[in-house]
Amino acid sequence: MVQRPYGRSRILVTGGAGFLGSHLIDRLLERGSEVLCVDNLFTGDKSNLDHLAGHPRFEFMRHDVCFPLYVEVDAIYNLACPASPIHYQHDPVQTTKTSVLGAINMLGLAKRVKVPIFHASTSEVYGDPTVHPQPESYWGNVNPIGVRSCYDEGKRCAETLFFDYQRQLGIDVKVVRIFNTYGPRMHPSDGRVVSNFIVQALRGEDITIYGEGLQTRSFCYVDDLIEGFVRFMDAGPDVHGPINIGNPNEFTIRELAEKVLEKVGGRSRLVNRPLPQDDPTQRQPDISLAREVLGWQPKIELDEGLDRTIAYFRKVVEAG
Ligand code: NAD
Ligand code: UDP
């Protein structure tokens, strides 16, 4: 990363008012950087950044990454994009634009100011995988015209752009494929499974298992993920990825529901709801590459991560 001659490095985080972005910003500020957060607040919330009000090294700019951005920075983390299926399916055209135009605009910025750029891709590029667990070499099994395609294909096209900018123009890109991550600051109505189940259990509402709950996911706690991000960015100009970051411990959705109910207690019932279209049946990262290249592996297992996340949502739910 470029160091300014008379100051700290200034880092742009797009999507910084969201769940992952706000944790990343905390980590970058702890490391002594200046941070410019760019977000259009579509799914993010400024309350995720309230604790940074008045911080001398933090700046917020409301901006949509579908439009060009002219700023001077030393590195870019591009996280802007709705991540929850209910949010990215709300305005699918805008989701594809955010992924693709956002990638073009942020890569253009990286090219102009000659800095490394990190991109938040996703395990969704593997679609409903026929290879298990999923290594980075797997090309995926994605429906190009289904309800999840705006997100999956948008992210796949963004990956294409990142690697073409790398090959064609020599841009130092870092593409991470994130597997299901959870933790404090997910929005209580975010719709993703961990926050949904915890909030439902805390409110004594039915816990909604889609389908039979036999589909699997592998859940990574946010602090582990952010450590992987920072190691990747620090890894130097020869490491571009894509690299899977996630926790390989795999659970069925029913197991997750039972675990959450056991931890929260209360009177919630487990109920079944229709399985959404194209819902992947299994997902587990092969993290051999992250272990080898970044010396990274997750440390916080689901029990501990759920305890921390439940403690956070308990306060949110109590505050109303
Ligand atoms: P999130 O919805 O909490 O955060 C996304 C942020 O991007 C929000 O603050 C939102 O307002 C902002 N945003 C959306 N469209 C924008 C636009 N056009 N211009 C500017 N800002 C915009 O989601 P998250 O979980 O924090 O996800 C962050 C990134 O990580 C996303 O790119 C997502 O695809 C990726 N990802 C997350 C997970 C996960 O499990 N959390 C898994 C795979 C990939
Ligand atoms: N899911 C569920 N109940 C919910 C929310 C989600 O059973 O209230 C299921 C969903 O169908 C999927 C899994 O949990 O199989 C993970 O969903 P999520 O939206 O968190 O992320 P995905 O990995 O599907 O993008």
pLDDT in tens, 24-65: 999 999 999 999 999 999 999 999 999 999 999 999 999 999
Catalytic residue among 77, 88, 126, 151: 151
pTM of the model: 0.97
User: In the structure, what pLDDT confidence band is assigned to residue 8 with cuts at 50, 70 and 90?
Assistant: confident
Region 91-108: mean pLDDT is 98
Tell how far the Cα of 193 is from the centroid of ligand 2, in angstroms.
Answer: 5
Q: What is the pLDDT of residue 5?
A: 46
> For ligand 2, is residue 297 a contact (CB within 6 Å)?
no
Say if ligand 2 is within 6 A of residue 180 CB.
yes
Domains in the chain: boundaries:
5-179+221-246+285-299
Is residue 151 flagged as an active site residue?
Answer: yes
Domain 5-179+221-246+285-299 has CATH 3.40.50.720: yes
Yes or no: say if 64 and 118 are a contact pair by the CB < 8 Å rule.
Answer: no
The rounded mean pLDDT for the chain is 96
What is the residue with the minimal CA distance to atom 25 of ligand 2? 85
191-248 per-position pLDDT tens digit:
999 999 999 999 999 999 999 999 999 999 999 999 999 999 999 899 999 999 999 9
- 6 pLDDT higher than 60: no
pLDDT in tens, 147-204: 999 999 999 999 999 999 999 999 999 999 999 999 999 999 999 999 999 999 999 9
Rounded to the nearest angstrom, the distance between the alpha carbon of 136 and the centre of ligand 2 is: 23
Distance CA 46, CA 60 (A): 9
Q: Ligand 1 pocket by C-beta < 6 Å: which residues?
A: 14-15, 17-21, 39-44, 64-66, 79-83, 98, 102, 120, 122, 178, 180-181
Total residue length of the chain: 320
